[in-house]
Structure 1
Amino acid sequence: MGSRPLHNDCHGKGGNASLPPPPPPPLVNSTKGHHHKWVGPSGYRHITVDIGGDGDYISVQAAVDAVPDNNMVNVVIHIRPGLYIEKVVVPALKPYITFEGAGREVTMIEWHDRASDPGPDGEQLRTYRTASVTVLANYFSARNISFKNTAPAPLPGMQGWQAAAFRISGDKAYFSGCGFYGHQDTLCDDAGRHYFKDCYIQGSIDFIFGNGRSMYKDCEIHSTAKRFGSIAAQDRRSLDEKTGFAFVNCRVTGKGPLYVGRAMGQYSRIVYSYTYFDDIVAHGGWDDWDHNSNKNKTAFFGVYKCWGPGAAAVRGASWAKELNYDMAHPFLAKSFVNGRHWIAPADA
Structure 2
Amino acid sequence: MKPLFGAIILVLLAFYFAPSYANGAPNSHSSVHIRVDQSGRGDFTKIQDAIDSVPSGNSNATFILVKPGIYREKVIVPVDKPFITLSGTNAYSTIITWNEPWTNVQAPTVSIMASDFVGKYLTIQNTFGPGAQAVALRVSGDRAAFYACRFISFQDTVLDDAGRHYYKNCYIEGATDVICGDGKALFEKCHLHSVSKNGGAFTAQRRVTAAEDTGYSFVGCKATGVGKMILGRPWGLYSRVVFANTYMTNAVLPSGWGDWGDPTYQRTVFFGEYRSYGPGSDASGRVVWSHQLSQPEAQPFLSMAWIDGQDWLANPPSKHP
| In structure 1, distance between residues paired with 2:261 and 2:56 | 42
Give 1:23's aligned residue. 21
Cα RMSD (Å): 1.7
Q: Tell me, yes or no, if structure 1 residue 84 matches structure 2 residue 84.
A: no
Give 1:185's aligned residue. 156
Give 1:5's aligned residue. none
| In structure 2, distance between residues paired with 1:306 and 1:59 | 42
Q: 1:246 offset after TM fit, Å? A: 0.1
Give 1:340's aligned residue. 310
| In structure 2, distance between residues paired with 1:346 and 1:198 | 11
Q: What is the DSSP-based 3-state SS (H/G/I as helix, E as strand, rest coil) of the residue aligned with 1:20?
A: coil
| In structure 1, distance between residues paired with 2:284 and 2:80 | 41
Q: Tell me, yes or no, if structure 1 residue 253 matches structure 2 residue 224.
A: yes
Q: Tell me, yes or no, if structure 1 residue 45 matches structure 2 residue 32.
A: yes
| In structure 2, distance between residues paired with 1:315 and 1:346 | 37
| In structure 2, distance between residues paired with 1:200 and 1:188 | 15
For the structure 1 residues 254 and 133, does the alpha-carbon distance in structure 2 shift closer, same or farther, using more than 3 Å as the test? Answer: same
Q: 1:312 offset after TM fit, Å? A: 1.3
| In structure 2, distance between residues paired with 1:47 and 1:296 | 49
| Structure 1 residue corresponding to 2:290, chosen from 312, 320, 323 | 320
**Ranges in structure 1 where 5+ consecutive residues have no aligned partner:** 1-15, 27-38, 116-124, 155-160
Q: What is the DSSP-based 3-state SS (H/G/I as helix, E as strand, rest coil) of the residue aligned with 2:49?
A: helix
Residue deviations 1:165-216, cap 9 Å, x none? 0100000001000000101000000000000000000000101000010000
Q: TM-score, normalised by structure 1?
A: 0.84
Q: 1:79 offset after TM fit, Å? A: 0.2
Contact 1:24 1:40 in 2 (8 A): no
Contact 1:270 1:301 in 2 (8 A): yes
Contact 2:19 2:118 in 1 (8 A): no
Q: 1:315 offset after TM fit, Å? A: 6.1
| In structure 2, distance between residues paired with 1:206 and 1:101 | 27
Give 2:62's aligned residue. 75
| Structure 2 residue corresponding to 1:207, chosen from 164, 178, 184 | 178
| In structure 1, distance between residues paired with 2:284 and 2:245 | 12
Give the letter for the 2:220 counterpart: N
Q: What is the DSSP-based 3-state SS (H/G/I as helix, E as strand, rest coil) of the residue aligned with 2:34?
A: strand
Give 1:299's aligned residue. 269
Give 2:98's aligned residue. 111
Q: 1:23 offset after TM fit, Å? A: 2.8
Give 1:276's aligned residue. 247
Contact 1:48 1:78 in 2 (8 A): yes
Give 2:166's aligned residue. 195
Q: Tell me, yes or no, if structure 1 residue 241 matches structure 2 residue 212.
A: yes
Q: 1:262 offset after TM fit, Å? A: 0.7
| Structure 2 residue corresponding to 1:148, chosen from 109, 125, 136 | 125
Q: Tell me, yes or no, if structure 1 residue 135 matches structure 2 residue 112.
A: yes
| In structure 1, distance between residues paired with 2:37 and 2:284 | 44
Contact 1:233 1:263 in 2 (8 A): yes
Contact 1:71 1:93 in 2 (8 A): yes
Q: 1:290 offset after TM fit, Å? A: 3.9
| Sequence identity (%) | 38
For the structure 1 residues 21 and 132, does the alpha-carbon distance in structure 2 shift closer, same or farther, using more than 3 Å as the test? Answer: closer
Give the letter for the 1:333 counterpart: S
Give 1:35's aligned residue. none
Q: 1:80 offset after TM fit, Å? A: 0.3
For the structure 1 residues 75 and 177, does the alpha-carbon distance in structure 2 shift closer, same or farther, using more than 3 Å as the test? Answer: same
| In structure 1, distance between residues paired with 2:315 and 2:288 | 37
| In structure 2, distance between residues paired with 1:346 and 1:182 | 26
Structure 1 ranges of 4+ moved more than 6 A: none
Give 1:217's aligned residue. 188
Structure that is richer in helix per residue:
2
Give the letter for the 1:285 counterpart: G
Give 1:100's aligned residue. 87
| In structure 1, distance between residues paired with 2:149 and 2:241 | 22
| In structure 2, distance between residues paired with 1:347 and 1:52 | 28
Q: 1:25 offset after TM fit, Å? A: 4.1
| In structure 1, distance between residues paired with 2:37 and 2:67 | 5
Contact 1:281 1:314 in 2 (8 A): no
**Ranges in structure 2 where 5+ consecutive residues have no aligned partner:** 1-12
Contact 1:22 1:74 in 2 (8 A): no
Q: TM-score, normalised by structure 2?
A: 0.91
Q: What is the DSSP-based 3-state SS (H/G/I as helix, E as strand, rest coil) of the residue aligned with 1:261?
A: coil
Contact 1:315 1:321 in 2 (8 A): no
Contact 1:304 1:328 in 2 (8 A): yes
Give the letter for the 2:117 counterpart: F
| In structure 1, distance between residues paired with 2:265 and 2:122 | 37
For the structure 1 residues 347 and 299, does the alpha-carbon distance in structure 2 shift closer, same or farther, using more than 3 Å as the test? Answer: farther
For the structure 1 residues 314 and 337, does the alpha-carbon distance in structure 2 shift closer, same or farther, using more than 3 Å as the test? Answer: farther
Contact 2:22 2:314 in 1 (8 A): no
Q: 1:24 offset after TM fit, Å? A: 3.3
Q: 1:313 offset after TM fit, Å? A: 5.7
Q: 1:346 offset after TM fit, Å? A: 4.3
